[in-house]
Amino acid sequence: MEPGKFSFRISRVTRSHGPDVYQVRVTDEVSRLPVVELSLTAEQFAEAVTGLNASDADGEILAHADRALLGRQMDHYSLVLSSVSEESAMEWGEKAREYLSADTVAVTRVQRGKQVTFRWYRPVGSPPIDHAMAATLLPPLPTS
């Protein structure tokens, strides 16, 4: 894919905002991040897909519309911190979130229990994040 070019997926959102309102979401196909959500009436939707008319629509640019993440491949990496308390696992997850630099472009989530999940967004074609690489990017694991 050329720099600055993105492949998008367009889908209809299933939640309802009324009987004559269609929610349409545009998602970056590589990173799977939602970019834009539009609200269209049935008439606007029909005119748009048939090319009969261009019309204004209400919409929202979603949080991940940051170009730094678009066009990057997403990798999941999870750790279960079984030897520590749930509180320590939560604290470590927050520390890891702050520890990661913008260069690694990572988002973390600490789930209930002791599982910490990371989503790395790496350039397409670069190697996926594995355990050894993750260990060099993350803060030291908690011991208690």
- pLDDT one-digit tens code per residue, 30-59: 888 888 888 888 888 888 888 888 878 888
Domain ranges in the chain are 8-65, 72-137
pLDDT digits (tens, 9 = 90+) for 113-125: 677 777 777 888 8
Over residues 3-29, the pLDDT tens digits come to: 566 777 777 776 666 677 888 888 888
User: What's phi and psi for 39, nearest 5 deg?
Assistant: -110, 120
